[in-house]
């Protein structure tokens, strides 16, 4: 029997951004008090632009009328970073971890989270890595994953968005992460095809659990579509 700390991965399907944000806040408190083990939410969002704590309003390029026409929500949230896009075809991951069990350093955590995405993309045959001075995961074709987190009394939340096969045209509505001179790409654009978000969630969960020394249920990522009360 494994003595590793347990990870609870949860596949939630498509969830509106505000609903997932509310759920994160509940889980942060449960993880903080020890009522729940480290948990990661894996999901997609309907079209939404989210503005982090450092967001610049001018980096949202589509006005309210255009956003309404394209059915894009706009949400100001408490993660770090500037403005980004979430939508169908994008795997969103929200690890909710007590960093006291994982080195206690949020900057180290960011680098390790990047590492898990880089390792997963390399499984797909994509040469991914970091770009000096920037957070996220990059390829020769552009940025393929964005990262923004929040730290609440040693518990980290929010996380990453990996572009599998989203409609990249929606990134034209913002200055992604406030970076004006770098392209955004996707697994589909790089390879011609991409796995589904749910299958990517399964594979990435294994990489994440190994990197953070966590045990998956029954030794593999049994992704469950609901969160049970702590």
Among the residues of 56-132, which ranges form H helices?
Answer: 64-69, 106-123
CA atoms lying within 13 Å on the CB side of residue 113: 30
Tokens of 184: 């955004």
Q: Could you identify the residue written with the tokens 């944000």?
A: 21
Contact call for residues 7 and 215 (beta carbons, < 8 A): yes
- Kindly report the number of other CB atoms within 10 A of residue 109's CB atom: 19
Instruction: Give the closest residue to 89 by CA, choosing from 19, 188, 211, 216.
Output: 188
Cα(48)–Cα(74) distance, rounded to whole angstroms?
6
Looking at residue 35, the DSSP 8-state letter turns out to be S
Closest CA to 159 of 90, 221, 95: 95
Q: Which residues are catalytic?
A: 177
Burial class (CB within 10 angstroms; exposed 0-12, middle 13-18, buried 19+) of 162: buried
Here the tokens at position 20 are 């997932």
**DSSP at 206:** H
């Amino acid at each position: 029997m494994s003595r590793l700390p347990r990870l609870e991965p949860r596949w939630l399907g498509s969830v509106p951004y505000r609903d997932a944000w509310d759920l994160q806040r509940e889980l942060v408190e449960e993880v903080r008090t020890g009522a729940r083990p480290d948990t990661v939410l894996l999901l997609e969002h309907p079209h939404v632009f989210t503005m982090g704590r450092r967001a610049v309003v001018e980096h949202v390029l589509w006005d309210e009328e255009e956003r309404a026409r394209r059915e894009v929500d706009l949400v100001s949230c408490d993660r770090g970073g500037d403005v980004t896009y979430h939508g169908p075809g994008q795997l969103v991951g929200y690890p909710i971890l007590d960093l006291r069990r994982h080195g206690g350093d949020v900057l180290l955590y960011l680098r390790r989270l990047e590492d898990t995405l880089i390792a997963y993309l390399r499984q797909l045959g994509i040469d991914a890595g970091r770009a000096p001075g920037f957070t996220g995961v990059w390829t020769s074709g552009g940025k393929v994953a964005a990262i923004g987190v929040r730290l609440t009394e040693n518990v980290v939340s929010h996380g990453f968005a990996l572009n599998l096969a989203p409609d990249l045209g929606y990134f034209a509505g913002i200055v992604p992460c406030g970076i004006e001179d770098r392209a955004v790409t996707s697994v589909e654009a790089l390879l011609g095809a991409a796995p589904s978000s749910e299958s990517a969630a399964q594979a990435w969960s294994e990489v994440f659990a190994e990197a953070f020394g966590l045990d998956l249920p029954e030794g593999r990522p049994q992704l469950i579509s609901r969160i049970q009360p702590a």
